[in-house]
Structure 1
Amino acid sequence: MTQNTSKLTEIFTTPFPYLSEFFLTIKILAPLWPAIILFGLISNIINIVVFLKAGAKDNMTVLLLCLAMSDLVFLILITPSTCSYVIQYLVRSYPWPFDYFILHYLLYWPAFTAYDLSAFISVSLGVMRCACVAMPLKFKLVFTKARTIKWVMFLVILAVSLRIPVLTINRISWRTDPRTNVSSPYLKPVNNIYMSHINDIINRGIVIYILYITMVTCVIILTFKLYQASKIRRSYTTEQLRASDQAPSKPVAQGLNSKDVQVVKSVVLVCIIFILSQLSFLLTSTTRLFLPDFDADQQFAYLFGILSQINRTCSYLNASLNIFVYYNYNSKYRSVLHSLLSVKGRK
């Protein structure tokens, strides 16, 4: 076992508050991770195939396609870290043939860079749908398909740029065991504490608050528009409309036809999944601002670890559950999926 792994094992065999709760959390959540990730990989591949088959001809479909791609990349990149986590904490005596931290941390930050991109795309979905409801006549002129693709490319650059501090801290080096004279690779952190602190301020502080507030605002606006549209629809159903020239002026919400309502519902549900999955991250960031000891290697390390595993589980769920939303509230998605399944059934 490597030196880093020995230190890690020593830490987790030392009496500490919340130790039993921490391992209980691991034992409850860790068995769920492989199933969630496998389902997420399959569901996002299905989403990508369906959206490509349907033809990404409008901004919403382009964003949904890009969201499925970024979710897929996140799940692929986070799989090694998850596997190492499950092995390390459920089989703590596992004799690692190489430095455990290579598997655990090397792709961890690239994975969460992809997760950030998914968050940015989800927020863009909410904002664009709000704009569509608020200014339906101008919306198509503002966010065309070409501009949406350029916007996604900008989001990719933004996600990578914001994570540069932690994307540059890990590198693979070689060291020689004096007992065996055998060289082996290990993960060498560079400026880890300083860069992680910058990451905490930017990505786990400022960015997450901006995204969360924006998404909550979008959900409130869209939910109100849905309520307004349903209320108007009920009033016109129960009351006989007079002649068109005597009818009152129509509010914006009345412009939501049944198809628009389904699209708005699907976007709202995607936004809600994002909000719920980000809530534990937000709680962690807020607590760390007011309680510095709520962190790894501090007084509340294991309590911090409990919430961290909940955060990890929520991120997997966030990247895996959108297929249910699309299937239930996107008629075009459903029809394309049924056609693909029927073709494969005939074969």
Structure 2
Amino acid sequence: MEMSDPDVNETELMTSSPPAQFVPFISDEEWAIISVVNFTFICGLGCLTGMVTNVINIVVFAKQGFHDSMNVSLMGLAVSDLGSLVTTFWMSICFNPLFIAADLPIDVKEVMNTLGGRPHIIFARITSFITAFITFERCLCISLPLKVKMIITPRRTKIIIIFIFILMFSYPPLYVGNRLEWVFDSSRNATILTVEFNEEVIKIEPVAFFLYGVTFSLLSFVFVICCTIVLVVKLNTKTKWRQATAAKGASAPEGVGVKDKKVVKMVTFISSIFIVCFGPSSLMFVVMALEPRFRLNGAFTNLYMTLWSASFILETVNSSVNMFVYLTMSSKYRAVFMKTFLGREEK
């Protein structure tokens, strides 16, 4: 009896074995559960709460008036946060299994992205730039306390906030290359509302993504970090200097007043929340630019959507909690809030 060569058998076994298949990090079943939990429940409830708090913010700032540049900026921030939450809430509805099972005559995925995903990116960038402007204005306040009111006036602030909205809403893919249309779907044997794309969007999308997604996101995020660090360092330095001057019995020269210090602390807190909540999304835009497979229809689709769902939760938190920060750290806001919504004067 001839003995078989083990090396030959091993070689044959290796060459005849099926090729390794790509195993996704997150299966379709796992993503189905994550999408319901993160988008439908957490984001949905968070958006409802945030929409109420931002409507309250808008009412309070409107009653305070716009004679102060900070009120103008915070009003712009409340409007952009409200827009971000409304678009995210629409996405949470689209991920609801009951909504999907209703078999409505729409292409849920495409319509969700066009009416929810893209506008959300725009409002998120507006929030980023307004937060950056607010921190910059406070940096000037603490660095040049005697000149800041001449540099940053309410009128100039209004122009800057309006310009930010116009700049972000000039996002080309929102208007060029795709549009909502009623199209017959043979697989469903029905006419459905979907998004029709053409070659223009294929040319514009990469440039718009790099500019509005990567560049603007990183620019505003890094700028907020730098301004926040400057605020903290400058405030601590001036506080120690004034305390040392007071301990020597000398009168401290005019500098940052008590009211401005409170505003600086409030802005620092808002900026810190922004840094924590927008850090993941800024990082993911960079990953998307470096790794083409990390996209909606790429090889890592489920991982991509899972990480973005977590990022949307953080952005929802950022857009929802400002009212509680104002109530805690701004006596002026608290007084108007209590008088308007509780009908009593703050003691």
Deviations 1:240-274 (A, max 9, x none): 514x5xx7xx5xxx722321111001111121122
Instruction: Determine the C-alpha separation between the residues in 2 that align with 1:312 and 1:197.
Output: 22
Tell me if the contact between 1:101 and 1:187 (Cα under 8 Å) persists in the aligned partners. no
Q: Equivalent residue for 2:151?
A: 142
For the residue of structure 2 that corresponds to 1:267, the secondary structure is helix
What is the root-mean-square deviation of aligned Cα atoms in Å? 2.7
Tell me if the contact between 1:36 and 1:317 (Cα under 8 Å) persists in the aligned partners. yes
Equivalent residue letter for 1:153: I
Give yes or no for the alignment of 1:63 onto 2:52.
no
Distance of aligned partners of 1:117 and 1:290 in 2 relative to their CA distance in 1, 3 Å threshold: closer
For the residue of structure 1 that corresponds to 2:147, the secondary structure is helix
Q: Equivalent residue for 2:304?
A: 304
Tell me if the contact between 1:102 and 1:172 (Cα under 8 Å) persists in the aligned partners. no
After superposing the two structures, state which structure 1 stretch, 216-225 or 143-152, moved more.
143-152
Q: How far is 1:27 from its partner?
A: 4.2
Tell me if the contact between 1:62 and 1:149 (Cα under 8 Å) persists in the aligned partners. yes
Q: How far is 1:200 from its partner?
A: 2.2
Tell me if the contact between 2:54 and 2:79 (Cα under 8 Å) persists in the aligned partners. yes
Deviations 1:117-152 (A, max 9, x none): 222111110111111111122211112111111111
Instruction: Determine the C-alpha separation between the residues in 2 that align with 1:226 and 1:35.
Output: 37
Q: Equivalent residue for 1:218?
A: 227
Distance of aligned partners of 1:318 and 1:170 in 2 relative to their CA distance in 1, 3 Å threshold: farther
Deviations 1:196-221 (A, max 9, x none): 32232112211112111111110000
Instruction: Determine the C-alpha separation between the residues in 2 that align with 1:187 and 1:64.
Output: 35
Q: Equivalent residue for 2:332?
A: 332
Q: Equivalent residue for 1:6?
A: none
Q: Over alpha carbons, which structure has the higher Rg?
A: 2
For the residue of structure 1 that corresponds to 2:184, the secondary structure is strand
Equivalent residue letter for 1:139: V
Q: Equivalent residue for 1:25?
A: 34
Give yes or no for the alignment of 1:208 onto 2:209.
no
Q: Equivalent residue for 2:282?
A: 282
Q: Equivalent residue for 2:104?
A: 96
Equivalent residue letter for 2:184: T
Give yes or no for the alignment of 1:47 onto 2:57.
yes
For the residue of structure 2 that corresponds to 1:98, the secondary structure is coil
Q: Equivalent residue for 2:7?
A: none
* 4+ residue segments displaced more than 4 Å: 91-94, 177-182
Q: Equivalent residue for 1:121?
A: 130
Tell me if the contact between 2:145 and 2:256 (Cα under 8 Å) persists in the aligned partners. no
Q: How far is 1:169 from its partner?
A: 3.8
Equivalent residue letter for 1:36: G
For the residue of structure 2 that corresponds to 1:49, the secondary structure is helix
For the residue of structure 1 that corresponds to 2:180, the secondary structure is strand
Unmatched segments (≥5 aa) in structure 2: 1-21
Equivalent residue letter for 1:37: C
For the residue of structure 2 that corresponds to 1:155, the secondary structure is helix
Q: How far is 1:23 from its partner?
A: 3.9
Q: How far is 1:52 from its partner?
A: 1.1
Instruction: Determine the C-alpha separation between the residues in 2 that align with 1:181 and 1:107.
Output: 24
Tell me if the contact between 1:29 and 1:309 (Cα under 8 Å) persists in the aligned partners. yes
Pick aligned residue for 2:169 from 157, 160, 163: 160
Instruction: Determine the C-alpha separation between the residues in 2 that align with 1:265 and 1:74.
Output: 25
Distance of aligned partners of 1:221 and 1:84 in 2 relative to their CA distance in 1, 3 Å threshold: same
Q: How many residues align?
A: 320
Output the TM-score relative to the length of structure 2. Answer: 0.83
Give yes or no for the alignment of 1:198 onto 2:232.
no
Tell me if the contact between 1:82 and 1:104 (Cα under 8 Å) persists in the aligned partners. no
Instruction: Determine the C-alpha separation between the residues in 1 that align with 2:36 and 2:160.
Output: 41
Q: How far is 1:182 from its partner?
A: 5.5
Instruction: Determine the C-alpha separation between the residues in 2 that align with 1:128 and 1:112.
Output: 24
Instruction: Determine the C-alpha separation between the residues in 2 that align with 1:111 and 1:255.
Output: 40
Instruction: Determine the C-alpha separation between the residues in 2 that align with 1:141 and 1:187.
Output: 49
Instruction: Determine the C-alpha separation between the residues in 1 that align with 2:152 and 2:163.
Output: 14
Q: How far is 1:308 from its partner?
A: 1.1
Equivalent residue letter for 1:66: G
The sequence identity of aligned pairs, in percent, is 27
Unmatched segments (≥5 aa) in structure 1: 1-13
Distance of aligned partners of 1:49 and 1:97 in 2 relative to their CA distance in 1, 3 Å threshold: same
Instruction: Determine the C-alpha separation between the residues in 2 that align with 1:177 and 1:296.
Output: 22
